[in-house]
Structure 1
């Protein structure tokens, strides 16, 4: 593993561990952190078999860090408005008229932004697809995985009490919460396109072979 990746992974593990110091809602945070642990293991194993571009690896680490921090507050309790008022004397909730905590929205946007480049590169490593085809499939994978996540979240909520389900889901009374989350992940994926063609062409010519 390249030095840049080792540093990014080490910092991610430190952030993840720090979010578990005196957890505020241990059970609910554990539910959110299960996929984080799976993601860290997958990231390490995937990079060993299909070496990733360092910036793509770092982007995924950034997402995991932000997700871990937000999960500590179960997303809907993340005190960004209070912190910004204390630091900058500015309230985004008052400025934009927000009636809900939008931390979960940010996480879903970042999912599309941070994972699409790596997915696009992986597709170019494995199959002879054009840059446009690789990007299209990557966006579709973001959409499908977002849908599966919402199904999983719904299934977990069914097994919890109404109060615990609301605390875990962070729906905040929005009946269109799942739809908005999937849309934002998709829009985040499209952010990755502007320089996509040039990046893919350069990567295809220098793609290392998979380890046996």
Structure 2
């Protein structure tokens, strides 16, 4: 019964993600930038869906995957430097840039829970300092890899408009460092806030 209840929640999350994905694909700022932005989320979602019957995450992890996918689809639709709400915040508080990308990289720290769950499920690691340290290291590695991909995109396209939108630096030469630092802070805070909740959910999932 509990498994059925959780399955319904997972289906609802998938439905929400699909609706946002369809919306994001309708007249985005540019289709090339949209493809570049949403492709990683599509790959991850495809893997999660394909392996659903073989391995199920906790509902907390699925909520995080759904949230991060939605954030990516929104960024892909508008480009990260032109998301309307954050343009309004920029103008209202006289900020120097649209901070949607910074907000997104900070929230990517939530992926620490998903990575933590994979480590608990497929390695001999148990909860403690080593698990937290390796989880944070993987989050940082993924953040760094993403920045390298963004940098390579500008080299391959020789600095075209699409690559600049994808890079989203907005004139800040330290943008990559900011993004990685925010992902690190987000991961640390995520583990501090959610680790105990995740442990309980992970135990209950395995008891089903």
Which TM-score band applies after superposition, normalised by the shorter structure? 0.7 to 0.9
Cα RMSD (Å): 2.1
What is residue 88 of structure 1 aligned with on the other side? Answer: none
What is residue 49 of structure 1 aligned with on the other side? Answer: 54
What TM-score, normalized to structure 1? 0.85
Question: CA shift at 1:81, angstroms?
Answer: 4.4
Distance in 1 separating the partners of 2:172 and 2:196: 40
Runs of 4+ in 1 over 6 A off after TM superposition: none
What is residue 76 of structure 2 aligned with on the other side? Answer: 71
Deviations 1:30-52 (Å, cap 9, x if unpaired)? 11122121121122234433210
Give 1 or 2: higher helix fraction.
Answer: 2
What TM-score, normalized to structure 2? 0.86
Matched, 1:32 2:37: yes
Which residues of structure 1 form unaligned runs of 5+?
Answer: 85-90
1:130 pairs with 103, 126, 130, which one? 126
Question: CA shift at 1:181, angstroms?
Answer: 0.4
Task: Report the secondary structure of 1:162's partner residue.
Answer: coil
Question: CA shift at 1:148, angstroms?
Answer: 0.7
Distance in 2 separating the partners of 1:126 and 1:162: 41
Which residues of structure 2 form unaligned runs of 5+?
Answer: 1-5
Q: Is the 8 A contact 1:131 1:200 kept in 2?
A: no
Distance in 2 separating the partners of 1:46 and 1:138: 22
Question: CA shift at 1:207, angstroms?
Answer: 5.1
